Amino acid sequence: MQFVKNTYFNDNDVAELAWAIGSSPLMNNSASKDKYNILGEEWFETQFGLHVDWLKDLDSNPEILRRWLNDDAQKLLGKRFESLLAFWFSSSPYFELLHRNIVFHNSQNNTSGEADFLIREKESDEIWHIESACKYYLGVNKSSNWKNWIGPNGHDTLELKLNKVNNQLRIFERAEGRRFLKENDLPKPHSFLLIKGYFFHHFSLIEGAVSPKDSHRHYNGGWYIYENELPHFKSDLAQWLLLPKERWISPFYSAEEVAVLSGNEMIEQCRQHIRKYAKAPMIIQVESREGATVEVSRGFVVRDAWPHF
């Protein structure tokens, strides 16, 4: 069973969906600078309360969600998160999924923008445009500046992501967006950012850590180390796993027997992973609780030159 918002779920896919609905967002609404709205913690808590019985029913018969995820065949983490949201919006009694992954073209027929979701919120009968993101950023220089919150492989920053979102959320103000609404007989939607994920602090700076400006006070957090710092974790004690990327979305839980690594084994596997894939592995510290393997904390191991390669 996996524990999400005081509720246990047996199925990992359902637990991920429950986390996508019920976990805290990464950013406060103030991060939008009044240019758009960010869905906040109270909204997610309300949605989880509305959907918890639906999630429990789904947990007892998860095949429909499993088939959806298999048919969607989304390998990238952000796309898997988006697929979970699409299932929620299309299956929930509170929403109607109108359009997904809309691609817009300008007058020269060049791609000019995209929109993740258009949904109808049934209680208000409002049309909502939602851009979604599940992101993982690591802080450098003890800085709250968004440009100093960088992806584990050095190719993305919180600043770049929020600037891109600002542009995406204005698509229905532009000619191609207005044309789409007219062709589909839709009013101008309310636009929202749904952003979740984790912020990671260097393991030596957990105490007194500096968070990103306008980050949500209850954001999900972790730690990171450089490859040359791996010897700090030398030990024969078995308490580590390298977490496959498809399992990054929600905290790890397994009621089945899991091959847990010692600190020495984890160090060797991290080094092999970095050499083979040139990407940062995510490692989790686990413990046994009532016969299950449960995540205690999570972190990235980045190359020594990160974020400059």
| CA–CA distance, 28 with 49 (Å, rounded to integer) | 21
Q: Dihedrals φ, ψ of 44, to 5°?
A: -65, -40
State the average pLDDT over residues 216-239: 96
**Residue 46 neighbours by CB under 8 Å, 6+ apart:** none
Count of alpha carbons within 13 angstroms of residue 12, beta-carbon side: 13
State the average pLDDT over residues 117-129: 96
- Domain-located, residue 282: yes
Residue 15 sits in the same domain as residue 85: yes
> Residues of the chain with pLDDT > 90: what percent?
77
**Domain limit, last residue, from 210, 242, 258:** 210
pLDDT band at 82 (very low <50, low <70, confident <90, very high): very high
pTM for the model stands at: 0.93
Strand 282-289, strand 238-242: pairing: antiparallel
Residue 112 sits in the same domain as residue 81: yes
- Domain-located, residue 218: no
Considering only residues 267 and 10, tell me which one the structure prediction assigns the higher pLDDT. Answer: 267
Show the tokens assigned to 55.
Answer: 């999630």
Q: Dihedrals φ, ψ of 183, to 5°?
A: -65, -30
Angle subtended at Cα 83 by Cα 77 and Cα 86, rounded to the nearest 5 degrees: 150
pLDDT band at 206 (very low <50, low <70, confident <90, very high): confident
Residue 265 sits in the same domain as residue 202: no
pLDDT band at 74 (very low <50, low <70, confident <90, very high): low
**Where in the sequence is the domain holding 238, given as residue range(s)?**
224-302
Residue 116 sits in the same domain as residue 183: yes
State the average pLDDT over residues 222-230: 97
- Domain-located, residue 290: yes
Residue 43 sits in the same domain as residue 162: yes
| CA–CA distance, 180 with 194 (Å, rounded to integer) | 22
pLDDT of 110 over the 90 cut: no
> How would DSSP label each residue in 228-278?
GGGGGG--S-EEEEEPPGGG-SS--EESS---PEEHHHHHHHHHHHHHHH-
- Domain-located, residue 298: yes
- Domain-located, residue 219: no
Residue 153 sits in the same domain as residue 246: no
The CA distances from residue 171 to 35, 282, 292, in Å, are: 13, 35, 46
pLDDT in the model for residue 75: 67
Residue 140 sits in the same domain as residue 7: yes
Residue 191 sits in the same domain as residue 240: no
pLDDT in the model for residue 122: 95
Residue 134 sits in the same domain as residue 253: no
pLDDT in the model for residue 258: 87
Residue 193 sits in the same domain as residue 228: no
Total domain count for the chain? 2
Considering only residues 280 and 32, tell me which one the structure prediction assigns the higher pLDDT. Answer: 280
Considering only residues 137 and 35, tell me which one the structure prediction assigns the higher pLDDT. Answer: 137
Using an 8 Å Cβ cutoff, are 302 and 152 in contact?
yes
Task: Specify the range with the lowest mean pLDDT, choosing from 33-47, 60-74, 145-159.
Answer: 60-74
pLDDT of 3 over the 60 cut: no
**Residue 240 neighbours by CB under 8 Å, 6+ apart:** 233, 260, 261, 262, 263, 265, 266, 283, 284, 285, 286
pLDDT band at 229 (very low <50, low <70, confident <90, very high): very high
